[in-house]
Amino acid sequence: MDKLKVMTIFGTRPEAIKMAPLVKKLQETEEIQSVLCVTAQHREMLDMVLDLFELKPDYDLNIMQHGQTISDITVKVLKGVEEILQEVKPDIVLVHGDTTTTFVGSLAAFYQQVAVGHVEAGLRSGNIYSPYPEEMNRRLTGHLANLHFAPTEGNYKNLVKEGIGEEKIFVTGNTVIDALLQVVKEDYLFDNPLLNQIDYVNKKVLVMTCHRRENWGEPMENIFKAVVEIAEKHKDVEVIFPVHLNPNIRNLAKQIMGEAGNIHLIEPLDYEPFANLLSKAHLILTDSGGIQEEAPALGKPILVLRTETERPEAVEAGTVKVVGVEKQKIVEEVDKLLKSPSHYLEMATAINPYGDGRACERIVGALKYHFKLSKEKPEVFKR
Ligand code: UD1
Ligand code: UDP
């Protein structure tokens, strides 16, 4: 029998991190022919991950432009992926999460009547404008997909509530934990001298990231001003902020935070140093999706710079707190964590509601089961 042809499509840093271990697993699987297509919605930030995991795309649409709009990405991905699908004719396309590459890649596959498998399916914030446009991207992809790989039982329930057939959903855990476990090492040495010089024992290292579209403008100004106030008040804090390559964010960050001595604005880090930096941090401030899954696994308290989250599991477990985008509230919450050891300890519990490092194995198992290459259904991930 011919091999099952599985074409994976992704375009941004977080998709690449979370799909890299899956592509590796597909490549190792005898019965599968793996084809990798990147849209390069991101360029440098994508290439860093491809290099780290030694992945060579078979197709690269190279669409990134500075200042691109969501419509620019949509048009280029739709047309570009269509042509590749006509050439490759895969049995199934795999997409990840909630970016515009994800939604439009699935739409292109649907137009060619190619099956879609959605990795990291079923997360919902309940607000179509937050995260924006990701909540809608994820919902639309859910309705285009034929197979759904839901990280958690809660994600599974969200899909069932929307009328997705239970037999099409597999609860697998999140592949981000598979990736994280491959790169975090004890006694890791950074290439960046600043990161090696920092005294992680006597200083309180606060790692932050901030990039979401719904935070552009006033919310992001509030967040940056809050961090300046925190850095001024707490001289034992060192803030490390690897700034996203989006020029809007870089300019604002430089303008508001550039002068403070204990705030370090650095270039985006490769995944390996970044994950190891998280593991050495005292506290994390972020509006990222993926970091909300990684920090709990590393036992780091995390304050989420958003008004809602589609990842409630670690909030329920107490290691994540959604603090919003108002300056005073952010300062207060950080103050509490810095001043109260008991409050800090309550939040610094290592939990792993999102995965056990075996999500990719389950996804490949589900593909084999669905396409009748195996009679065995993969076991359900339980936290
Ligand atoms: C995108 C995704 C978002 C995801 C985020 C992860 C959409 C609409 N947004 O947002 O869901 O959380 O990626 O980071 O799909 N840039 C570079 N080099 C890079 C990457 C970005 O220069 O390697 C700059 C470019 O000027 C680009 C801009 O950043 O135009 C914005 O990139 P874009 O992919 O449009 O949006 P993100 O905010 O990164
Ligand atoms: N990350 C990284 N280098 C950095 C900042 C983040 O490798 O300088 C990783 C982080 O560990 C996580 C992912 O990138 O796995 C998150 O990406 P991002 O914040 O861009 O997107 P989101 O998760 O919000 O979709």
As a whole number of angstroms, the distance between CA 343 and CA 23 comes to: 40
Which ligand places an atom closest to the C-alpha of 207?
Answer: 2
> What digits encode the pLDDT tens for the residues 140-165?
999 999 999 999 999 999 999 999 99
pLDDT value, residue 383:
81
Provide the strand spans (E) within the chain. 4-10, 32-38, 59-60, 92-96, 115-119, 147-150, 169-171, 204-209, 237-242, 263-266, 283-286, 302-304, 320-322
Q: Which ligand 1 atom sits closest to the C-alpha of 14?
A: 6
As a whole number of angstroms, the distance between CA 136 and CA 178 comes to: 26
Q: Cα–Cα–Cα angle for 175, 60, 146, nearest 5°?
A: 45
247 lines ligand 1 (CB under 6 A): yes
CA 178 from centroid of its chain's CA atoms: 13
Q: How far is CA 133 from CA 101, 125, 228, 308, 348, in A?
A: 12, 12, 29, 14, 31
Distance 88 CA to ligand 2 centre (A): 30
Q: Is the pLDDT of residue 267 over 90?
A: yes
Ligand 2 site residues (CB inside 6 A) read: 13-14, 17, 209, 211, 242, 268-269, 271, 274-275, 288-291, 294
70 lines ligand 1 (CB under 6 A): yes
As a whole number of angstroms, the distance between CA 300 and CA 204 comes to: 12
pLDDT value, residue 349:
86
Q: Cα–Cα–Cα angle for 197, 203, 207, nearest 5°?
A: 80
Q: Ligand 1 atom 25: the closest Cα is on which residue? A: 66
The β-bridge relationship of strands 59-60 and 32-38 is parallel
As a whole number of angstroms, the distance between CA 265 and CA 249 comes to: 12
Q: Which ligand 1 atom sits closest to the C-alpha of 45?
A: 23
Mean pLDDT of 78-101: 98
Q: Please confirm whether the linkage preceding 312 is cis (ω < 30° from 0).
A: no
Contacts of residue 68, Cβ cutoff 8 Å, sequence gap at least 6: 41
Query: What are 382's two structure tokens?
Result: 């339980």
209 lines ligand 1 (CB under 6 A): no
The radius of gyration of the chain's CA atoms, rounded to the nearest angstrom, is: 20
> What digits encode the pLDDT tens for the residues 226-263?
999 999 999 999 999 999 999 999 999 999 999 888 99
pTM > 0.95: yes or no: yes
Distance 179 CA to ligand 1 centre (A): 21
> What digits encode the pLDDT tens for the residues 16-51?
999 999 999 999 999 999 999 999 999 999 999 999
Beta-carbon count within 10 A of 34 CB: 21
The residue annotated as part of the active site, out of 43, 139, 213, 343, is 213
Q: Is the pLDDT of residue 350 over 90?
A: no
Q: Is the pLDDT of residue 1 over 70?
A: no
- Within 13 A of 188's CA, how many CA atoms are on the CB side? 20
Which ligand places an atom closest to the C-alpha of 243?
Answer: 2
Cα–Cα nearest to 243, from 216, 211, 273, 274:
211
3-class state of residue 1 by DSSP: coil
The residue annotated as part of the active site, out of 211, 306, 362, 370, is 211
245 lines ligand 1 (CB under 6 A): yes
As a whole number of angstroms, the distance between CA 252 and CA 234 comes to: 22
As a whole number of angstroms, the distance between CA 276 and CA 191 comes to: 12
The residue annotated as part of the active site, out of 98, 178, 214, 238, is 98
State yes or no: is 211 an active-site residue: yes
